[in-house]
Amino acid sequence: DSGVTQTPKHLITATGQRVTLRCSPRSGDLSVYWYQQSLDQGLQFLIQYYNGEERAKGNILERFSAQQFPDLHSELNLSSLELGDSALYFCASSVAGDTGELFFGEGSRLTVL
Amino acid sequence: AQKITQTQPGMFVQEKEAVTLDCTYDTSDPSYGLFWYKQPSSGEMIFLIYQGSYDQQNATEGRYSLNFQKARKSANLVISASQLGDSAMYFCAMREGLGLGRLYFGRGTQLTVWP
């Protein structure tokens, strides 16, 4: 158990819909990262937050948005969903230290029909 | 250019043998960290080992070791005494600079251990 909690674990929805994925980082971790994993694109970095502020942005579509709340949990909002958005969405957290490795949640598997 | 390149889409190894998974990286930052993660079929990402760019010695964690060749910009993962449970996807990743920046991941290598 990495200590990072993601909900829901599985989600099936239709094209055009909107979903929200939630992430609770490990206790004490200020930095939260979102990654998208699909067969054709591999692990794509979406966005990073640090202590409530956006820190870095990757290949995140305009239809997607995220935020980190004062209690440090984060949400990834995906709207106007398309078939190609079907993927495994990972949240990870990290704390400054010797290695600063990312601790990943179990992922939210999104299927868009 | 790709930050992380893993050229082996799939590798096969017999149980109890050693296997090397290749990883090359590309960065102009003198400070960076290299990571290996394992993703079993269940999907979770498990951190295995870390090597910092200034580390003089190769990192080791149990049966995992990282063969760090700085001049060649390679960071190969060596798994000794393979076990059936090692069958999984393995990802090499890099963080540039110090601090808590993002990790760049390679496309992964699917390792299959056979009895």
Q: What is the DSSP letter of A72?
A: S
Percent of chain B with pLDDT over 70: 100
CB pair distance less than 8 Å for B102 and A56: yes
> What is the number of other CB atoms lying within 10 angstroms of the CB of residue B30?
9
Q: What is the DSSP string of B55-109?
A: -SS--EETTEEEEEETTTTEEEEEE-S--GGG-EEEEEEEEESSSSPPPEE---E
CA distance B7 to chain A (A): 14
Which residue in B43, B45, B102 is closest to A58 by CB distance? B102
> What is the number of other CB atoms lying within 10 angstroms of the CB of residue A80?
13
To test the contact with chain A by mutation, choose from B90, B96, B103, B110 the residue with the greatest count of A C-beta atoms within 10 A, namely: B103
Nearest in space to B42 (alpha carbons), one of A88, A102, A21, A51: A88
Three-state DSSP at B51 gives strand
CA distance B105 to chain A (A): 6
**Residues of chain A positioned with their CB less than 8 A from the CB of B35:** 99, 101-102
- List pLDDT tens digits, range B31-80: 999 999 999 999 999 999 999 999 999 999 999 999 999 999 999 999 99
**Residues of chain B positioned with their CB less than 8 A from the CB of A59:** none
Distances (CA, A) of A37 to A51, B15, B17: 24, 29, 30
| Per-residue pLDDT band at A59 (split at 50, 70, 90) | confident
Size of interface A-B (CB pairs under 8 A): 58
